[in-house]
Chain A
Amino acid sequence: MITLENIEKVYETKSQRVIGVDKVSLTIQKGEIYGIVGYSGAGKSTLLRCINILERPTSGKVIVDGVDLLQLSGKKLREARQSIGMIFQGFYLVSSKTVFDNVAFALKAAGVDRAERKDRVLELLSLVGLADKANQYPAQLSGGQKQRVSIARALANNPKVLLCDEATSALDPSTTKSILSLLKKINEELGITIVIITHEMEVVKEICDRCAVMQDGKIVEQGASYEIFANPMESLTKEFIKTVLDFQLPAKLVQNCTGTLVKLQFRGNLAEEAVVSDMLQQHSVKGNILHGKVEYIREKPLGIFIMEIIGEQPEVNKAINYLENRVQQVEVIQGVS
């Protein structure tokens, strides 16, 4: 659906040359939700804005739905933008227009006539759950409601793609959840491809099929969200994963451990099987769980546990061996292996 080829964005001022996006290539499939993660200044926002040419790349190719956008200008580009919706962290609603008129504006931009506009706006407002707010002004709405209006505006012209620029970063956790589930619903029911820029791993965990991690204008790692969570390669990715899956044990606890500390990672259905209890029954060791969590990455479970195995060394080794055969990832943190 979206193909970015060697996108480069360079800002030149008199004294210096700043590279915003450094030769990024990326393919986003039709119907998927794709997350781009990074700290501020990583270039993720610039990259996103290159997709609808709000920012014109210095070089590279932007192909959305088979159309090479950089070849377009004027009216043709405006028409192409109508099939790419966009929402922002700051909502950017027109404060002097009612909710109804804010949504109607997008339709007006596409030349939809008045009567048709009315029906469509009401339809959109009920899709985002704001049918009763049509005549209110943005100043009278909460942050979550404002974002819903901007989603309705972005969806007005039946776009194929929805770009989200930190769309939940200004919202509280529970509002974030409700906006994310609205985005998921839009993705599933309308088949719209969604690209999300965020610095919150929670967002990726909740709704992204695939994601990319950006640093200094480059993509350092990308893949299916589940794989990224289960097996992060780059240190930056690990740092981000830690915000959701952190298993730091208190130093004092680690010092006082007499047994062997292992970290187990269960994927998918395995998280539901009784691997640990089998291990304990078949070996003469004692187990003690110190930390653990099952996270659901796009509803697929990923379990991580840290346990202390206590017993005679040969038996402990056998137990670890047993675990290694049944669990995808076993890591001995402390003790003899």
Chain B
Amino acid sequence: MFLDSIVDLLPELNQAFLETMLMVGIGLLVALILGLPMGILLYVTDRGLFLENRLVKSVVGMIVNLIRSIPFIILLVFLLPFTKWLVDTTTGPLAASVSLSVAAIPFYARIVESSAREIDKGVIEAAVAAGASPWLIIKDIIFPEAKPGLISGLTITAISLIGYSAMAGTVGGGGIGDLAIRYGYYRYDDTVMFTTVIVLIVLVQLIQYLGDFIAKAVNKR
């Protein structure tokens, strides 16, 4: 009976899994495209660095803090008009990825900033003394030096996004979280509940393992 219900569930589980991957994937991609430069900007405009700029640093820092201080479930609701305008719907995985992306950008930006800070300031200074341009320093020193941190940061972001995506399920966002809520919470179907939890555990473990593996492989220290 237990097996039967899982087999029955398979098509829907499969669909939910793909939806989760889509949401997390879009969120990660946006985090990389926008969060990474934002984190670098936060770092290089800091005091004593080669593009020190108090105004930029505090404005960007404030925006980041602002978004990060809103609990995700509230951000999700708060962004509904924006989501509606951007993707013309407020339900489904695509709509959910809008809020996920907005949450992922500052999250990853802070991680990028702190992993860049791990770089010995002297290394940056030696590059400045060599007469390197800011862009060359970012591309050729900061990126490769911070790479292990950037990759484990991406892992942390991915795992957080899986958690967030489950919350997106509560407002009809789709994905594994949505499945768990619909069957496990509204219908008291423990089998579905357990299955989704196991799928989530395996997924998180896999991502963590993969992230650690890559971060270790690129670390030359």
Residue numbers of A with Cβ under 8 A of B are 52, 54, 75, 78-82, 84, 86, 88, 90, 92-97, 105-106, 108-110, 137, 139, 150, 153-154, 156-157, 163
Partner of B220 from A84, A86, A95, A108 at Cβ < 8 Å: A95
- Assuming A81-B129, A96-B147, is B140 touching A105 (CB within 8 A)? yes
B127 touching A109, Cβ below 8 Å: yes
Once the chains bind, are B220 and A109 in contact (CB under 8 Å)?
Answer: no
Query: What's the least CB distance linking A310 to chain B, in Å?
Result: 58
9 A–B pairs (Cβ distance < 8 Å), ordered by A: A54-B125, A78-B132, A84-B129, A88-B126, A92-B125, A94-B127, A109-B127, A109-B132, A137-B220
- CA of A70 to CA of B86, assembled, Å: 50
The answer to whether B145 has its CB under 8 Å from any CB of chain A is yes
Pick the contact of A97: B128, B132, B133, B144 (CB < 8 A): B144
Residues of B in contact (CB 8 Å), total 22
Q: Which chain B residues in 192-206 approach chain A with CB under 8 Å? A: none
- Residues of A near B221 (CB, < 8 A) are 95-96, 139
Q: Which residues of B contact A (CB under 8 A)?
A: 120, 122-123, 125-133, 136, 140-141, 144-145, 147, 218-221
Question: Would A106 and B120 be within 8 Å (CB), given that A94-B141, A137-B220 are in contact?
Answer: no
B133 neighbours in A (Cβ, 8 Å): 75, 78, 109
Choose from A82, A92, A163 the contact partner of B131 (Cβ within 8 Å). A82
Bound-state Cα–Cα, A52 to B131, Å: 10
Q: Which residue of chain A has its CB nearest to the CB of B221? A: A95
List the B side residues contacting A110 at CB < 8 Å: 131
CB A168 to nearest CB in B, in angstroms, measures: 16
Q: Write out the residue numbers on chain B whose beta carbons fall within 8 Å of the beta carbon of A80.
A: 131
Q: Is the CB of A96 within 8 A of B136?
A: no
Q: Which of B120, B147, B220 contacts A92 (CB 8 A)?
A: B120
Nearest chain B residue, comparing its CB with the CB of A75? B133
> Residues of A contacting B129 with CB < 8 Å?
52, 54, 81, 84, 86, 163
Contact across chains for A94 and B131 when beta carbons are under 8 A apart = no
CA distance A54 to B129 in the complex (A): 7
Of all chain A residues, the one with the shortest Cβ separation from B124 is A92
Bound CA span A82–B133, Å: 11
Q: Please report the C-alpha to C-alpha distance between residue A93 and residue B147 in the assembled complex, in whole angstroms.
A: 16
- Contact (A96, B220) CB under 8 Å given A90-B122, A108-B140: yes
Given A94-B144, A105-B140, A139-B220, A81-B131 contact (CB < 8 Å) = yes
B221 to chain A, nearest CB (A): 5
Q: Which residue of B lies closest to A107 (CB)?
A: B130
The 5 closest A-B pairs by CB, nearest first: A109-B132, A81-B131, A82-B131, A92-B126, A96-B144
Are the C-beta atoms of A109 and B130 separated by less than 8 Å?
A: yes
**Complex formed: what's the CA distance from A105 to B144 in Å?**
13
